[in-house]
């Protein structure tokens, strides 16, 4: 018999004696606690789980809110920066466009003013005046703007060479370095001898040579550095036994120079 049977029999006997002697229920002796062996089932046939402190659950909602707030702040800063950048660029572009418009308007006004002034100055030249040289020098004639003045320093009837100077407004002091709109010289030198000096300049790339028509004849025209160091134009041709040099001391008078040549007449 096992321990539980023995325990029950002893309990019954003790219970009976106690009832007979005192007429009361016997006190049930405490049941000895059985040690729980490792792996032995606990209550309800389930193994006993080890008891210990349980970790508290972390509340992550605050962290998520913080991350969202930081992300929103960063987006706000980025968009604000982009807005400021685009606004500054727009302002610069607007200023640049306005500046270009103002510059274009000013340029157009200047060009219009210059055009009107040039047209007025050109009209003031009309009607053209006529220059007439001495008969001993081939009776050279040509038309020149009426706004130009003429100065003839020598008496052609007594001089070996003939010179005349023409310039807008007034004729400046006659010097080699003085800029004249037109210099007219008729000299007693063979034409080929006069051309040698200018041919040398062409060979040295100081001047260029071309031809134009004067009095119905092709004549040589030299453009570039003059003997005075100025940049101008010289036309050389023969008049009788003499040589004519028609010169301007500045490219500014280019158009007037060729118009004078186009109206030039003389006795060959």
What is the pLDDT confidence band of residue 114, given thresholds at 50, 70 and 90? confident
Query: Two tokens at 163?
Result: 């010179």
**Residue 74, SS3 per DSSP:** helix
Q: What is the mean pLDDT of the chain?
A: 82
pLDDT on residue 105: 86
Choose from 27-41, 54-68, 77-91, 106-120 the range with maximum mean pLDDT.
77-91
pLDDT on residue 74: 86
pLDDT reading at 80 higher than 50:
yes
pLDDT on residue 204: 96
Where do the structural domains in the chain lie, given as residue ranges?
Answer: 67-124, 129-262
What tens digit of pLDDT does each residue of 35-66 get? 555 555 555 545 555 555 555 555 677 778 88
Listing DSSP states for 148-200 in one string gives EEEE--S-TTT-SSEEEEEEESSPPP--TTS--SEEEEEESS-HHHHHHHHHH
pLDDT on residue 82: 87
Taking domain 129-262, whether its CATH number is 3.40.1000 is answered by yes
What tens digit of pLDDT does each residue of 94-104 get? 787 777 788 88
Residues 6+ positions from 65 with CB-CB distance below 8 Å: none
Is the four-CA dihedral 104, 105, 110, 112 of positive or negative sign?
Answer: positive
Mean pLDDT lowest for which of 24-28, 112-116, 193-197, 228-232? 24-28
What is the pLDDT confidence band of residue 22, given thresholds at 50, 70 and 90? very low
pLDDT reading at 237 higher than 80:
yes
pLDDT on residue 185: 96
Distance, in Å, from the CA atom of 159 to the CA atom of 153, rounded to the nearest integer, reads 10
Averaged pLDDT, 130-138: 93
pLDDT on residue 255: 95
Distance, in Å, from the CA atom of 229 to the CA atom of 198, rounded to the nearest integer, reads 13
pLDDT reading at 211 higher than 90:
yes
By the 10 Å C-beta count (0-12 exposed, 13-18 middle, 19+ buried), 228 is classed as middle
Distance, in Å, from the CA atom of 183 to the CA atom of 27, rounded to the nearest integer, reads 161
Residues 6+ positions from 253 with CB-CB distance below 8 Å: 181, 182
Are 265 and 141 in contact, with CB atoms under 8 Å apart? yes
């Amino acid at each position: 018999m096992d321990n539980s049977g023995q325990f029950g029999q002893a309990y019954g006997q003790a219970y009976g004696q106690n009832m007979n002697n005192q007429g009361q229920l016997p006190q049930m002796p405490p049941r000895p606690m059985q040690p729980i062996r490792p792996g032995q089932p606990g209550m309800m046939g389930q193994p006993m789980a080890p008891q210990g402190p349980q970790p508290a659950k972390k509340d992550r909602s605050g962290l998520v809110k913080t991350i969202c707030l930081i992300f929103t702040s960063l987006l706000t800063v980025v968009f604000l920066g982009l807005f400021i950048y685009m606004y500054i660029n727009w302002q610069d572009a607007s200023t640049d466009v306005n500046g270009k418009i103002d510059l274009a308007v000013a340029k157009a006004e200047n060009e219009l003013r210059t055009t009107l002034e040039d047209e007025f100055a050109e009209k003031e030249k009309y009607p053209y005046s006529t220059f007439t040289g001495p008969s001993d020098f081939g009776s050279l004639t040509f038309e020149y703007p009426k706004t130009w003045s003429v100065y003839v320093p020598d008496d052609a009837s007594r001089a070996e060479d003939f010179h005349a100077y023409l310039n807008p407004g007034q004729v400046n002091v006659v010097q080699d370095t003085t800029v004249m709109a037109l210099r007219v010289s008729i000299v007693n030198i063979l034409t080929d001898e006069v051309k040698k000096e200018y041919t040398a300049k062409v060979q040295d790339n100081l001047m260029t040579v071309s031809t134009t028509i004067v009095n119905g004849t092709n004549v040589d025209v030299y453009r570039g550095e003059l003997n005075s160091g100025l940049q101008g134009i010289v036309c050389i041709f023969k008049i009788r036994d003499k040589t004519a040099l028609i010169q301007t001391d500045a490219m500014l008078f280019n158009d007037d120079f060729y118009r004078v040549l186009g109206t030039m007449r003389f006795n060959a």
